[in-house]
Every structure is written in C-alpha cells, then in structure tokens.
C-alpha cells in the first residue's frame, strides 16, 4: 500500500512540476470562437508572431461564446486569467471598475489610434482611458427575400414598421410554410430584436434620469406591434422557440420574408444558399421617422495582472495591422474596424456591407452600465411572457422596468 | 409456438416503446450525419444521397483525432487512479468490520451529492492552487475522485461473491495475508475489476462540466467539449458535422456495451445495498 | 478476521478517502467561504457578508419557483424511471431471443454524454427543421408542426421525458442486479405450494427487490436533482424562466449575472436539501428494516 501511495504522490509531484515549467516570454490569449475559422486564424497569427519574435510563445485558448463569461469569471476568481482576452464590450465596465482591465493609452500613439474608425473605438473608452481594442464589430440591418416580397406584391422592402407589418401579413398569406417576419424569441439577443422596433418608436434603454426606458409608451408600442404580428400569423409560429440561428436557417431556406441580423448572414448565404434572391435594407423607421440599428463590438483587453504587458501589446499591434485585420474580418463576416481595411475592394465594393456601413451613424451601442447581462435577461423574460400571451404588454414591461431599476440602483 | 418464442414476441412488444424512443436520437444523428450539407435544414427522413464524406470532413473540421486522443488519455488514467484506490477501499469494506465503516459508506454517498456544476468554482480554485489549470491531468484527478464512490460500490458487491474460505485455506497452508491476497483473491477478482474499470472509463469518457471548466486550449479538449464547442454560440452550426462527430464518439462505447452487458448486470447496486 | 492489526482496514481505505476528500471537501470549504463573503463580479472576495447572500436567495421569488419546479422535475424523472425500469428489468431478466441486443439498446443512452443527447434532442425538437415533427407528420399523428420548446407546457414534459430516458439504463442495471440475486429455489418452492405468478411476485420478488428500489431512488434523486445539461441545452430555463430548475438558476446567477456569493449560497442550500432528503429517506426505510447505503 505504501508503494501505491508513493507512486501516487510521485505522479502528483511530477505533474505539478510539469505544469509550472513555462517559457519566460509567454503570452496567453483567450479568444472567443465566432466560427470554425476563428481558431485557425489566431493560431496562424500566433505562429507568424513567434516566427518574427524568436523565443516567444503565444498560447491561444479558444473558448465557445456561450461559456466565455463563465470561463473568464472562474479564471479571474482563481487568478489564472490569460494576458489578453476577447470580451463583449458590454461587459467592459465591470472589468474596468474592478481594476481587471489595464488601460492601453500608454502603448498607443496617434498613428495607431488613427487605424480605427472612431465609432468602434469609442465604446471601449471609459473615464478618458482606452481599455480595449475593437476586435470584432458588427451592426444589424434588415434582410429580405426579393421573391417572396414580389409574390406578395411589394417591389421594395418596407421602410417603416407599419409597412413592415403589412408586408409581413401579405407574405405570410402566400402559403402554409412561408412566414412574413422572422421574429427571434430565444437566447442571445432576443432583447435586441425588440430594441430595433423600440428605438424606432423613440425609446431609450436608459432614460435621462438613469432609469429603465421599458415602462414608456415607445416600449409599449413596439411590444404591441410584435404581439399583434404574432397573433396575426405574420411571424413564424412559436417565436419563443427560435434563436437567432433558427430564424436565419428559415431565411436561408427561403421561408421567411424579412429578418434583422448581422453581416455574417451574407457570408453564410454565399456558402450555403447561393441561389437565394435576397437584399439588405435599412431597419424600418418608426412613426416619428426615428430608426436605430444595434452597433456591437467585441473588445480585446489586456489584464492588469499580466506579467508580459509589453509583449502582449506587441502581439496586439500585429493583429491590428491591415493585413491581419483583413483576413479576420473577411473570414468571419464582420464590419471592418480599420480604415485601410474598409478601403480594400473586397469590403468597399461589397453591396451588402455598404448598407451596414451606411447605418453606422444611427447605430446604438449597449449603454455603459453594470449588470448588462442581468438586465438583458430581465428584458428577455418580460418579452417572452408577452409573446406567449402570459402577461399583458404594460404589466410585463412595467415589472421588468422595476426590476431593472433595482439592478441599476435607482 | 415454443414457449421461448412466445416469450420473445411478448418481451419485444413490451420493450418496443422504450426501444423506439431510445433509438430515435440515434436515428436523428445518423440521418443528419449522412445528409448533404444543403439538405441538413430540410426535415426529411431520407437524404437524397448518403454523404459519407461528412465523416471525413468532420474529422478535419472538428479536430476529432486530437480530442479522441485526449479523451482516451483522460479516461484511461483516471480509471487507473480510481481502481488503484477503490480496490483496497472495497476490500476493506467487505472483509473487515471496523469502527467508522458505516460512516465511510455515508461519506461515499455524500461525495455523489455534490454535482460538479455546484462545485465548479471550488474545483477550479483547487486546480489553480495545484498549478494544474489547463492540464488534462487536473481533469484526470477530479474524474478519479468522483468515480471512487461508484467503483467502490461495484467492486464491493463483486468481492462479496468471492468466498472467504479460499483465502483462509491459503493462510492455513502458511501463506502470508498479503500472499493470499495476491495469489488467491486478486486473480479471482480480476474480471470484476475489469468490468468496473470499463464503467469508470465510460463515465470519464462522457463527462462534460468539469472538462469544460478546467480545459482551455483546444489542444487539451476532450471529445464532449470539442463537439459542444461546435454548437455553443457560433454564428452558424454545421449540424451534419456535429451529428457525425457525436455518432463517432458513441460507437466505441456501444461496442463495449454489447460485450459488457452480460457482466454488468450482476454487480451494480449490490454493494450499495448491503 | 484473525492475524490482522486493527489498523489494516484504515490503511486500506486511506488513499481513496484522502483523494475523494481532497477533491470534494476542499471545494466545499471554498464554497462556504465565498457564500459568507462579499464577492465582486469576478469571484474576488471583498469582505465578510454574514448571511446576506443566503438572505438574498431566500427572498428571491425566482428561488421558490425554481425549487418547486425542481421538485416536479426530480419526482417526475425518478418515479417515471422507476415505473418504466421495473417492468423492463423483469422482461430483460427473462430468457428470450435477442435478449443481449435488447439489453444493449436499453443501455445505449449511457453510451453518450447527456450533453450530447440533449443537443441531439434540441435539434430533433426544432419546430420546422426537426425530425420529430416530420416523423410524427409522416406517421399521421400530427397535422401541424408543434413548436415543442416554445412554451413550458410542452417543453417541460419533453425535458422530463428525456430525463427519464437517460435515467433508465442505470436504474435497469440496478434492478437486473437485484433480480439476479434472488435465488431461483424460492420461486420453485412457491410454485410447489401452489402460488400464482402474481402471488410469487408480491411475496418474493417485490420484498426482495425493495432494497434495490431504495438505492435507485436515493441515487437517482441525487443525480437528477443536480442534472444540468438537458434543460440548459434545450431551453436554458426559458421561455420567461418557466423551465428553470435550481441548477440552471444557479448557473445563471453565478456566471451570467456574476453574483457568485449568492450562487455559492444557493449551492450550499441545495446540498443541504439533498442531505436532508437522503437522511430522511434512509431513516424511513431503515425503520422498515432495509438499510440503504
């Protein structure tokens, strides 16, 4: 028995030593997996960097999006976080307030700064300091199926929500298996899918007094619009079972007249449904002519406790060069964040992307508030109750607003 | 009609609802895995052609080979650990009456009461304290520990069926206690240990939450999380690859089961009951 | 036994005990520390909080709702699996053609991780692209597609059904072990005395199977109570939290909302609930003469 114990202890020791042996110049990068291309892209970048800087070791840790926040939390909690990590910019304020993200301004000169479009860099600036670089950027626009709209008697995509509701009803009337408006009702960005209409009706997520805007007329009107479309059969049935990906799948099959999503759908259609006659248009306007798209960036941040900040920065510097940015942006189907990348023919002459870029001036980003994920969850719950008919519009939204105010500390 | 034939018909009739529902997910996997990429979203039960190339593509696209190697490594090593500590544990529980014996059995039950998801943060801090984060060896240790209760229960029930007289006879012939253990008891217990080991192996093979938390680089991913990463939050999911991969990960276990089923029936549960 | 030092059994159990205690009790202590502390978004301790985290959980209406659903979930799956497994085990204990194959099929859900099973079901339950709807339509059992996961009234029963399916292999295995431990001569004696098959079942099979039934109840309750992947992979507890059970609520609390203090407190509450249930159950069955575990 003592022998067994000895072997066990020996094995455990050996393992511990092996774990702590590391090259001096190591930079660990936690990377969110956007698609099957993400991992290989970063591995290639790491290899190129290591070749150019002998003696360095860039370790890429690819994490599925759904568990990214969990991974980061456990990592930081145990003090084993990487040197660099991709995060949703909407989480950044928590990282900054807890002193986890390091300010990057001391590394950035004007030439570096001018590589970026201001609109994408500014969400990562807090209290005058830059805490993250926009690694991925995207906006939302309306995709529509030309054939379905034509069959229903519409030559052009709707420009207001009122028209959209009419168009959707007409498309749904075309047949059993065809639906007018693809409405997302489950999982990530279900709240955002509602904000498109909410913003168009003049709403704001956070009012001037710092409270939630969900208990306003704009929110009621937008929710009523969606609910009436569900009841009229203008959307696909069972919206609360549909994630963004599910709705996109319906669109790719040509079974949905219109939906709102990000540029990457164009890239998917090109590969999976090349024959689909689709167009991309602005998100419809509300009665007051207002409209808003959702602008979203993911940031790559440097951890305050990183031991290799200079080397980590050097790696950042490389992946934000035009060459590497172009490869990433094209592979994943995001919007260019570098001006030079945007000017390249592959992006500048892409008609779909042009629509998205044109929308950027009216883009709204997630507000800089703590607890974004909890607020999103509260909103989604209220919306699902409305979509299912389990709660009235005002009742559900007022309740959600009260809960959000508590999260906001108001 | 012979009685056995009648029994056979009746038995399959009774089992048929369960058999159908059990096989349904496998049918879904198989059909989706064999559909050409363009047909995956169409809910037809018969693909226009059998796209066997999906399996080849999947192997590349999902990094199946490396994950397979990791899974084999983790499952094998954690099983070795669990068996090494569980054999003496079970032997002591079965062959000795000692103070604290009842308490130990309760302790084993309590270790099963804490699901990994509940312990995730604590486990991760433990791995961090040991310097084992992102090491597949941290997963090995944790699996080993979580499998102890199960393996002890199974082994103990098998050990109870090995008559004491044989060992006692060996002592009378002058063999030392350890000698009797090694020459008489262990050879008799070997089949039981093998079966238990296979169970421990399968548990580790399928484990998900711990691996998801502990492992961070794809080089160290095991099969379940490698497959999961194909569906978790990507902008588009290649379902035919996912299903092909799940199927490929199941087949080896299913084959082992077909060999194992005649043994496993005897042991499980007994140890925990007695 | 003779010739052995009283220390021997302790030395034999020591390595296993130490390993299990180290991996399982140490994290438990960590959980306790976090639960009693003020914790920031990232699990870093920021001071002593007393019982504030526990109070926050108990005051949350979502906790009670999730607790209630956890009870339905656990009872539904544990009893569903028992009711299904008992006859299945009785059948599989008979000698018939293809028994080996039948056993393998019944064991099959065990051959794949529950997470993967749940992902496959999510795909199969998809309203428009799912093979379940299209299969039921082909068989004429369904006119229009059902959006299974769109509302709790269909989603939760389906989730419980999946839970039962993955619990059956383990339960059947326990029962088969029990059936094979009943000596054949008992039945022979009963037949000689003129007992009917039903009487034999009631007087011999059932009482002798009770301990196995009990162990199945206890272990399944523990596993099902803590089971995360089925609900998470299919609905993430939605829509509108209507399929949330305690584990999924715990996961959201800890990792989406970043309330790690409250999540740790909830973990301990859940542990206490299970412990209480097990002690109570063991006490009750022990009084009737059977000893569980």
Inter-chain touch A80–B133, beta carbons under 8 Å: yes
The topology (CATH level 3) of A141-293+369-408 is D-Maltodextrin-Binding Protein; domain 2 (3.40.190)
At C221 the pLDDT is 93
Chain B CB contacts of C8 below 8 Å: 92, 96
Please name each of the domains of chain B with its CATH number.
63-273 (1.10.3720.10)
At C288 the pLDDT is 53
Chain C CB contacts of B227 below 8 Å: 116, 119
At A23 the pLDDT is 46
Using CB atoms, pick whichever of C23, C215, C263 lies closest to residue B142. C23
Chain C CB contacts of B145 below 8 Å: 19-20, 22-24
Specify the 3-state DSSP secondary structure of A390.
coil
In the predicted model, what is the mean pLDDT of chain B? Answer: 84
> At the fourth CATH level, which superfamily is domain A23-138+296-364?
Periplasmic binding protein-like II (3.40.190.10)
How confident is the model over A258-266, as a mean pLDDT?
Answer: 93
Residue among C122, C257, C259, C263 with most chain A CBs within 10 A, to mutate? C257
Inter-chain touch C30–B227, beta carbons under 8 Å: no
Using CB atoms, pick whichever of A5, A94, A240 lies closest to residue C41. A94
CA distance B145 to A171: 59
CA distance B32 to C126: 13
Stretch 45-64 of chain B: residues touching chain A, C-beta under 8 Å: 61
Using CB atoms, pick whichever of A12, A64, A333 lies closest to residue B232. A64
**Is the confidence at residue B262, as pLDDT, over 80?**
no
| Percentage, residues of chain A above pLDDT 70 | 94
Please, are residues A34 and A66 in contact by the beta-carbon 8 Å criterion?
no
Compute the Cα dihedral for B143, B147, B148, B151 and give only its sign. Answer: negative
How confident is the model over A165-171, as a mean pLDDT?
Answer: 96
Closest chain A CA to residue C19: A8
Using a CB–CB cutoff of 8 Å, tell me whether A60 touches chain B. Answer: yes
CA distance C211 to B34: 46
CA B122 → CA A77, A168, B34, B263, C30, distances in Å? 10, 51, 42, 37, 6
CA distance B32 to B39: 9
Contact partners for chain C, using 3 or more CB pairs closer than 8 A, are: A, B
Chain A CB contacts of B145 below 8 Å: none
Q: pLDDT category, A247, cuts 50, 70, 90?
A: very high
**Is the confidence at residue A235, as pLDDT, over 60?**
yes
Closest CA to B54 of B22, B26, B29: B29
Per residue in C56-85, pLDDT (tens digit) is 999 999 999 999 999 999 999 999 999 999
Inter-chain touch C116–B261, beta carbons under 8 Å: no
**Which of the two residues, A275 and A9, has the higher pLDDT score?**
A275
Q: pLDDT category, A212, cuts 50, 70, 90?
A: very high
Residues contacting A396, CB < 8 A, separation 6+: A223, A382, A383, A385, A386
Chain A CB contacts of C150 below 8 Å: 185, 237-241, 388
**Is the confidence at residue C285, as pLDDT, over 90?**
no
CA distance A213 to C63: 27
Chain B CB contacts of C91 below 8 Å: 11, 14-15
Inter-chain touch C173–B264, beta carbons under 8 Å: yes
Residues contacting C19, CB < 8 A, separation 6+: B81, B85, B141, B144, B145, B148
Using a CB–CB cutoff of 8 Å, tell me whether C44 touches chain A. Answer: yes
Chain A CB contacts of C255 below 8 Å: 69-70, 73
Closest chain A CA to residue C251: A70
How confident is the model over B170-180, as a mean pLDDT?
Answer: 79
Inter-chain touch B269–C216, beta carbons under 8 Å: yes
Please name each of the domains of chain C with its CATH number.
60-287 (1.10.3720.10)
Contact partners for chain A, using 3 or more CB pairs closer than 8 A, are: B, C
Closest CA to A5 of B139, C23, B196, C11: C11
Closest chain C CA to residue A79: C44
Q: Which helix (H) or strand (E) element contains residue A342?
A: helix A339-343
Specify the 3-state DSSP secondary structure of C234.
helix
- Secondary structure letter of residue A159 according to DSSP: S
Using a CB–CB cutoff of 8 Å, tell me whether A5 touches chain B. Answer: no
How confident is the model over A382-392, as a mean pLDDT?
Answer: 95
Residue among A62, A64, A66 with most chain B CBs within 10 A, to mutate? A64
**Is the confidence at residue A179, as pLDDT, over 90?**
yes
- What residue ranges do the domains of chain A occupy? 23-138+296-364, 141-293+369-408
Q: Which helix (H) or strand (E) element contains residue C127?
A: none
At C25 the pLDDT is 81
At C161 the pLDDT is 96
CA distance A144 to B154: 60
Inter-chain touch B228–A64, beta carbons under 8 Å: yes
Chain C CB contacts of A239 below 8 Å: 150
CA distance B177 to B188: 16
Per residue in B225-261, pLDDT (tens digit) is 888 888 776 777 888 888 999 998 888 888 887 777 7
**How many C-beta atoms surround the C-beta of residue A154 within 10 A?**
18
Cβ-count burial of A310 within 10 angstroms (0-12 exposed, 13-18 middle, 19+ buried)?
A: exposed
Using CB atoms, pick whichever of B131, B141, B216 lies closest to residue A71. B216
**Is the confidence at residue C182, as pLDDT, over 50?**
yes
Inter-chain touch C239–A384, beta carbons under 8 Å: yes
Chain C CB contacts of A69 below 8 Å: 255-256, 258
Stretch 242-281 of chain A: residues touching chain C, C-beta under 8 Å: 242, 246, 249-250, 255
Chain C CB contacts of A185 below 8 Å: 150, 239
At A4 the pLDDT is 39
In the predicted model, what is the mean pLDDT of chain C? Answer: 87
At C49 the pLDDT is 84
Instruction: Looking at the complex, report in whole angstroms how far the Cα of residue C132 sits from the nearest Cα belonging to chain B.
Output: 9
Chain B CB contacts of C20 below 8 Å: 107-108, 111, 145, 148-149
Per residue in A270-320, pLDDT (tens digit) is 888 889 999 999 999 999 998 888 999 999 999 999 999 999 999 999 999
Instruction: Looking at the complex, report in whole angstroms how far the Cα of residue B268 sits from the nearest Cα belonging to chain C.
Output: 6
Inter-chain touch A74–B216, beta carbons under 8 Å: no
Beta bridge partners of A278: A145
Using a CB–CB cutoff of 8 Å, tell me whether B229 touches chain A. Answer: yes
Per residue in A76-95, pLDDT (tens digit) is 888 889 999 999 999 999 99
Per residue in C8-33, pLDDT (tens digit) is 889 999 999 999 888 888 888 888 99
Specify the 3-state DSSP secondary structure of B132.
coil
The sheet with strand A141-145 has its strands ordered as A179-181, A256-261, A141-145, A278-281
How confident is the model over A327-334, as a mean pLDDT?
Answer: 88
Closest CA to B131 of A103, A20, C267: A20
At C293 the pLDDT is 40
Cis peptide leading into residue C239 (ω within 30°)? yes
CA distance B167 to A390: 70
In the predicted model, what is the mean pLDDT of chain A? Answer: 89
Using CB atoms, pick whichever of C34, C103, C271 lies closest to residue B113. C271
At B264 the pLDDT is 61
Residue among C16, C17, C280 with most chain B CBs within 10 A, to mutate? C16
Chain A CB contacts of C121 below 8 Å: none
Cβ-count burial of B272 within 10 angstroms (0-12 exposed, 13-18 middle, 19+ buried)?
A: buried
Beta bridge partners of A280: A143
Residues recorded for chain B: 274
Specify the 3-state DSSP secondary structure of A186.
coil
How confident is the model over A116-142, as a mean pLDDT?
Answer: 92
C130-138: long-range pairs with CB below 8 Å, 24+: C130/B43, C131/B27, C131/B28, C131/B31, C131/B32, C131/B43, C131/B45, C132/B24, C133/B43, C134/B43, C134/B44, C134/B45, C135/B45, C138/B45
Per residue in C102-152, pLDDT (tens digit) is 988 998 888 888 888 999 999 999 888 888 998 898 888 888 888 999 999
CA distance C201 to C265: 46
Rounded to the nearest 5°, which phi and psi values hold at A113? -60, -40
């Amino acid at each position: 028995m003592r022998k067994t114990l000895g072997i066990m202890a020996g094995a455990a020791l050996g393992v511990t030593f092996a774990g702590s042996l590391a090259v001096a110049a190591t930079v660990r990068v936690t990377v969110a997996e956007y698609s099957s291309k993400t991992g290989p892209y970063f591995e290639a970048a790491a290899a190129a960097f290591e070749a150019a800087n002998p003696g360095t070791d860039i370790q890429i840790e690819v994490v599925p999006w759904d568990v990214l926040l969990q991974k980061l939390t456990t990592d930081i909690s145990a003090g084993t976080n990487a040197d660099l990590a991709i995060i949703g910019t909407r989480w950044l304020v928590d990282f900054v307030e807890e002193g986890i993200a390091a300010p990057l301004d001391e590394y950035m000169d004007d030439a570096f700064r001018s590589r970026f479009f201001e609109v994408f860099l500014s969400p990562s600036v807090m209290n005058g300091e830059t805490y993250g670089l926009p690694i991925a950027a995207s906006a939302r626009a309306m995709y529509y199926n030309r054939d379905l709209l034509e069959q229903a008697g519409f030559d052009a995509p709707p420009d207001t929500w009122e028209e959209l509701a009419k168009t959707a009803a007409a498309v749904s009337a075309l047949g059993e298996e065809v639906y007018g408006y693809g409405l997302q009702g489950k999982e990530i960005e279900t709240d955002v899918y509602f904000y498109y209409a909410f913003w168009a009706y003049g709403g704001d997520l956070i009012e001037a007094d710092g409270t939630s805007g969900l208990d306003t007329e704009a929110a009621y009107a937008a929710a009523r619009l969606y609910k009436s479309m569900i009841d009229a059969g203008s959307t696909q049935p069972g919206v609360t079972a549909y994630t963004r990906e599910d709705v996109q799948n319906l669109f790719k099959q040509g079974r949905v007249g219109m939906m709102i999503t990000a540029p990457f759908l164009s890239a998917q259609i090109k590969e999976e449904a090349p024959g689909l006659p689709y167009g991309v248009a602005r998100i419809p306007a509300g009665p007051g002519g207002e409209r808003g798209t959702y602008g979203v960036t993911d940031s790559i941040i440097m951890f305050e406790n990183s031991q290799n900040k200079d080397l980590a920065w050097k790696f950042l510097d490389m992946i934000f060069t035009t060459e590497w940015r172009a490869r990433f942006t094209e592979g994943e189907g995001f919007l260019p964040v570098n001006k030079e990348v945007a000017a390249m023919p592959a992006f500048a002459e892409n008609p779909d992307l042009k629509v998205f870029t044109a929308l950027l001036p009216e883009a709204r980003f997630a507000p800089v508030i703590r607890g974004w994920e909890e607020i999103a969850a509260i909103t989604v719950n209220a919306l699902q109750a409305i979509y299912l008919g389990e709660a009235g519009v005002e009742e559900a939204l007022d309740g959600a607003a009260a809960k959000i105010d508590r999260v906001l500390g108001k | 009609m012979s009685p056995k034939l009648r029994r056979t018909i009746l038995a399959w009739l009774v089992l048929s609802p369960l058999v159908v529902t059990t096989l349904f997910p496998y049918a879904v996997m198989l059909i989706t895995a064999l559909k050409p990429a363009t047909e995956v979203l169409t809910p037809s039960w018969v693909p226009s052609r059998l796209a066997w190339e999906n399996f080849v593509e999947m192997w590349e696209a999902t990094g199946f080979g490396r994950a397979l190697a990791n899974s084999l490594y983790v499952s094998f090593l954690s099983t070795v650990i669990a068996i090494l500590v569980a054999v003496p544990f079970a032997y002591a529980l079965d062959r000795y009456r000692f103070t604290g014996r009842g308490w130990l059995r309760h302790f084993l039950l309590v270790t099963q009461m804490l699901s990994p998801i509940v312990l995730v943060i604590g486990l991760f801090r433990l791995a961090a304290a040991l310097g084992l984060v992102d090491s597949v060896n941290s997963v090995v240790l944790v699996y080993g520990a979580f499998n102890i209760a199960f393996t002890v229960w199974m082994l103990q029930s098998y050990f109870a069926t090995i008559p004491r007289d044989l060992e006692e006879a060996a002592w009378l012939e002058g063999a030392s206690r350890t000698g009797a253990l090694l020459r008489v008891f262990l050879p008799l217990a070997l089949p039981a240990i093998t079966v238990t080991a296979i169970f421990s192996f399968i548990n580790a093979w399928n484990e998900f939450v711990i691996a998801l938390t502990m492992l961070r680089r794809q080089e160290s991913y095991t099969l379940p999380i490698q497959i999961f990463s194909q569906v978790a939050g990507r902008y588009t999911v290649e379902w035919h690859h996912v299903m092909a991969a799940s199927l490929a990960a199941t087949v080896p276990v299913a084959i082992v089961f077909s060999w194992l089923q005649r043994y496993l029936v005897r042991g499980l549960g007994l140890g925990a009951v007695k | 036994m003779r010739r052995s030092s009283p220390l021997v059994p302790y030395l034999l159990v020591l390595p296993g005990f130490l390993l299990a205690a180290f991996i399982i009790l140490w994290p438990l202590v960590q959980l306790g520390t976090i639960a009693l502390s003020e914790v920031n978004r990232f699990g870093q301790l920021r001071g002593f909080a007393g019982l504030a985290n526990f109070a926050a959980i108990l005051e949350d209406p979502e906790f009670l709702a999730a607790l209630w659903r956890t009870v339905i979930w656990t009872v539904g799956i544990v009893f569903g699996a028992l009711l299904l497994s008992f006859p299945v085990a009785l059948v599989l204990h008979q000698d018939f053609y293809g028994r080996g194959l039948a056993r393998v099929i019944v064991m099959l859900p065990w051959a794949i991780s529950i997470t993967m099973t749940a992902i496959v079901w999510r795909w199969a339950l998809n309203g428009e692209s799912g093979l379940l709807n299209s299969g039921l339509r082909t068989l004429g059992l369904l006119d229009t597609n059902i959006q299974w996961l769109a509302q709790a009234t269909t989603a939760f029963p389906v989730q419980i059904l999946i839970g039962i399916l993955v619990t059956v292999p383990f339960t059947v295995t326990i029962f088969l072990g029990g059936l094979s431990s009943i000596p054949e001569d008992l039945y022979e004696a009963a037949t000689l005395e003129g007992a009917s098959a039903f009487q034999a079942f009631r007087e011999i099979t059932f009482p002798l199977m009770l301990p196995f039934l009990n162990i199945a109840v206890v272990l399944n309750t523990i596993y099902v109570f803590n089971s995360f992947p089925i609900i998470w992979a299919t609905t993430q507890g939605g829509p509108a939290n209507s399929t949330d059970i305690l584990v999924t609520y715990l996961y959201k609390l800890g990792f989406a909302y970043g309330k790690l203090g409250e999540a740790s407190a909830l973990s301990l509450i859940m542990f206490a609930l299970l412990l209480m249930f097990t002690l109570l159950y063991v006490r009750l069955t022990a009084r009737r003469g059977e000893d569980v575990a």
